[in-house]
């Protein structure tokens, strides 16, 4: 039957839409449903979809659940909006990109099978490259990138990271960290570009690489992710996490408002101006108030003053830690976090209680529906902006970009630009570096000379990092030296040689690589900041018997003054990642040293905290220090 009455046609259309809103099986053509129509403006699509959603569907969008807890039933029943991989949550050991993509597409199909077909977004910590994934390129950690003073390099690293993340089908990375570490005792200090907020501001160009260049004239605070070769990023950890008392992770940052603005805040408006999609809230407190419950800083300042229109996301179990002691009175913690202005909660497990308690708070008018709608509106806006409704499934097209030679070359470039030369020769007229490639016999020694896991540090394959060379693919410092020297040069490797061994072999020179063992947050907090044993004895044994260049592999300055006089040369290599060839490039003069200290190098731990520009500033080596050399070899 053909019905020609316009008013009746309109009525039928309205009935169909209402029936869909109630969850019936009646189907409406996509172009009649505004949120499914890509020609509609994003805000129109968002409001149309929001109006169709039940409370439970809205709360599901606010939940981010670890992949280990996701099933088809959970996705359908709870309408989960986001899934993530924690630091060690992978499809299988040494999973391939195809393994990742197949897993994520399985989750996505479950998500799309829900009543409204809202796609989920998958997140992961790709903080120095796609560091959770076997064979990915791992770049220097942020402290090393801060030593380069090169925002354009950091932008290219962001773009490469985005491609490698997309190679595994993932659309969202919890990076960059724009913390300003003011105390190297903090176990996350290597995630900070510098103690100088101005350098941190410059390095937010990583956002542009990761997400794409925000179009000119874009509205203030509106996120932008430009295409399927880009991923959503997250500026973290808002705010002040690098200034906690004694550098203790998740501790209290005691500082006045102006100090917070001047030191710890500058990276956030910069990242927002560059279109960052999300901001992650810090575990730490500001003057006694937990950031996950701080309405003044999350809603009034981040959202209202800075005009951030993206998603405010919690940290892993961050809501659970609001209470004192942590992990108690979860209902109240959920209440405080949502009232503060958080939009997406990295649960990452307890979705049942989260939805239960949040439903009770809404029904009892403790949380207004407007607050829920604000959160869901932001989440949906990012998903629409990223094109997830039109292209929800992950593609295999970027698989060849994971660990590709172009990215490894970029990592190598970043390593050589990040190295800081702290000493070169026992007298100014007798430099040791660059080293000669042609020699009779040389010694390579130390715990960090042939250990790719140590080279990469924490947040590498596992949360706290690994030891050894079998976990991923890359070049160790020993391997780099072997590739750099003349084929006639004999290389002797000894993990921990004694003085007699060194003297007996009559080495032309030695390269000693020592440093910190891998660590991440909390476990990496340190009161001693020492080189790991037997590092100090290796320095003493080798440098007392032969000319030596010492390479310190660490996430922060460490105690070196007692050993400095015995060294002929000292290089801060930070945590260079998988591309150790960049170390040899500079040691042997193919490139010159150009890096500058992103942090003050203290004399003694009892001086800390100590940052440039403060009173009684008496460092071993000041912020910005770095000797330079000129290339001596033709490339």
Radius of gyration for the alpha carbons in the chain, expressed in angstroms and rounded: 26
**Reading across the β-sheet that carries 285-286, which strands appear in turn?**
252-253, 285-286, 289-290
Question: End-to-end CA distance of the chain, in Å?
Answer: 79
Helices and strands in the chain, H and E counts: 22, 17
Instruction: Single out the residue of 394, 395, 406, 407 nearest to residue 130, CA to CA.
Output: 407
Q: How far apart are CA 337 and CA 150, in angstroms?
A: 37
> Is 521 tagged catalytic?
yes
Give strand pairing partners of 549: 511, 569
Q: Which residues contact 94 (CB under 8 A, 6 or more apart)?
A: 134
Give strand pairing partners of 441: 490
Q: Which residues contact 225 (CB under 8 A, 6 or more apart)?
A: 211, 212, 231, 232, 275, 277, 382, 385, 386
Cα–Cα distance list, 169 to 139, 147, 163, 475 (Å) = 20, 32, 10, 26
Instruction: Single out the residue of 587, 566, 560 nearest to residue 576, CA to CA.
Output: 587
Cα–Cα distance list, 266 to 127, 305, 349 (Å) = 20, 14, 33
Q: How far apart are CA 59 and CA 47, in angstroms?
A: 16
**Could you say which of 195, 521, 525, 590 is catalytic?**
521
Instruction: Single out the residue of 433, 537, 451 nearest to residue 493, CA to CA.
Output: 451
Residue 281, H or E segment: strand 278-281
As a residue count, the chain comes to 635
Angle, CA of 521, 561 and 246, to the nearest 5°: 35
Residue 234, H or E segment: strand 234-238
Residue 414 tokens read as 């970043």
**Could you say which of 125, 270, 315, 516 is catalytic?**
315
- DSSP helix/strand/coil, 499: helix
Q: How far apart are CA 475 and CA 473, in angstroms?
A: 7
DSSP 563: H
Say which residue the tokens 């290339």 belong to. 631
Q: How far apart are CA 441 and CA 308, in angstroms?
A: 60
> Is 315 tagged catalytic?
yes
Instruction: Single out the residue of 382, 153, 180 nearest to residue 262, CA to CA.
Output: 180
Q: How far apart are CA 136 and CA 132, in angstroms?
A: 8
- DSSP helix/strand/coil, 113: coil
Cα–Cα distance list, 613 to 141, 257, 407, 619 (Å) = 25, 19, 37, 11
Angle of helix 351-363 relative to helix 330-340, nearest 10 degrees, comes to 70
Residues identified as active-site: 315, 521
């Amino acid at each position: 039957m053909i019905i020609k009455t316009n008013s009746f046609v309109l009525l039928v259309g309205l009935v169909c839409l209402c029936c869909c809103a109630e969850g019936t099986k009646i189907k409406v053509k996509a172009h009649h449903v505004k949120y499914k129509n890509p020609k509609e403006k994003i805000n129109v699509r968002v409001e149309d979809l929001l109006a169709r959603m039940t409370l439970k569907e809205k709360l599901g969008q606010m939940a981010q659940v670890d992949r280990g807890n996701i099933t088809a039933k959970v996705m359908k029943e709870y309408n989960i909006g986001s899934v993530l991989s924690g630091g060690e949550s992978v499809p299988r050991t040494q999973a391939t990109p195809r393994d990742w993509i197949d897993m994520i597409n399985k989750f996505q199909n479950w998500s799309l099978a829900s009543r409204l077909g809202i796609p989920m977004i998958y997140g992961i910590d790709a903080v120095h490259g796609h560091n959770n994934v076997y064979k990915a390129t791992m770049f220097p950690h942020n402290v090393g990138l801060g030593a380069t003073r090169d925002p354009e390099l950091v932008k290219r690293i962001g773009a490469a990271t985005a491609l490698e993340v997309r190679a595994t089908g993932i659309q969202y990375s919890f990076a960059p960290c724009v913390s300003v570490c003011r105390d190297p005792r903090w176990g996350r200090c290597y995630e900070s570009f510098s103690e100088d907020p101005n350098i941190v501001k410059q390095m937010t160009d990583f956002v542009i690489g990761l997400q794409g260049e925000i179009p000119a004239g874009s509205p203030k605070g509106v996120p932008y992710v430009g295409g399927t070769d880009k991923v959503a990023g997250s500026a973290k950890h808002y705010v002040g996490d690098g200034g906690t008392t004694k550098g203790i992770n998740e501790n209290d940052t005691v500082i006045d408002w102006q100090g917070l603005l001047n030191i710890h805040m500058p990276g956030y408006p910069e990242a927002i101006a560059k279109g960052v999609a999300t901001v992650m809230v810090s575990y730490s407190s500001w003057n006694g108030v937990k950031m996950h419950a701080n309405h003044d800083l999350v809603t009034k300042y981040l959202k209202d003053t800075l005009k951030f229109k993206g998603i405010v996301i919690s940290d892993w179990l961050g809501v659970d830690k609001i209470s004192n002691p942590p992990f108690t009175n979860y209902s109240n913690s959920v209440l405080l976090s949502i009232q503060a202005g958080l939009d997406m909660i990295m649960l990452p497990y307890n979705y049942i209680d989260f939805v239960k308690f949040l439903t009770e708070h809404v029904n009892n008018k403790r949380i207004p529906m407007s607050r829920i709608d604000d959160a869901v509106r932001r989440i949906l806006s990012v998903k629409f902006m990223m094109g997830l409704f039109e292209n929800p499934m992950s593609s295999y097209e970027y698989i060849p970009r994971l660990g590709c030679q172009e990215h490894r070359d970029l990592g190598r470039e970043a390593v050589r630009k990040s190295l800081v030369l702290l000493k070169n020769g026992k007298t100014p007229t007798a430099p040791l570096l660059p080293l000669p490639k042609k020699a009779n016999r040389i010694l390579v020694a130390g715990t960090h000379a042939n250990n790719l896991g140590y080279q990469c540090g924490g947040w590498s394959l596992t949360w706290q990092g690994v030891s050894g060379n079998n976990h991923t693919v890359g070049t160790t410092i020993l391997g780099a030296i072997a590739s750099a020297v003349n084929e006639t040069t004999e290389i002797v490797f000894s993990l921990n040689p004694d003085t007699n061994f060194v003297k007996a072999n009559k080495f032309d020179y030695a390269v000693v690589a020592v440093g910190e063992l891998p660590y991440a947050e909390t476990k990496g907090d340190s009161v001693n900041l020492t080189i790991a044993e037997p590092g100090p004895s290796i320095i003493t044994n080798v440098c007392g018997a032969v000319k030596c260049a010492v390479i310190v592999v660490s996430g922060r300055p460490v105690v070196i003054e007692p050993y400095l006089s015995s060294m002929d040369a000292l290089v801060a290599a930070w945590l260079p990642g998988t591309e150790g060839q960049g170390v040899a490039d500079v040691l042997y003069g193919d490139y010159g040293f150009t890096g500058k200290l992103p942090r003050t190098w203290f004399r003694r731990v009892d001086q800390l905290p100590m940052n440039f520009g403060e009173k009684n500033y008496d460092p071993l080596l000041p912020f910005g220090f770095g000797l330079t050399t000129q290339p001596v070899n033709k490339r």
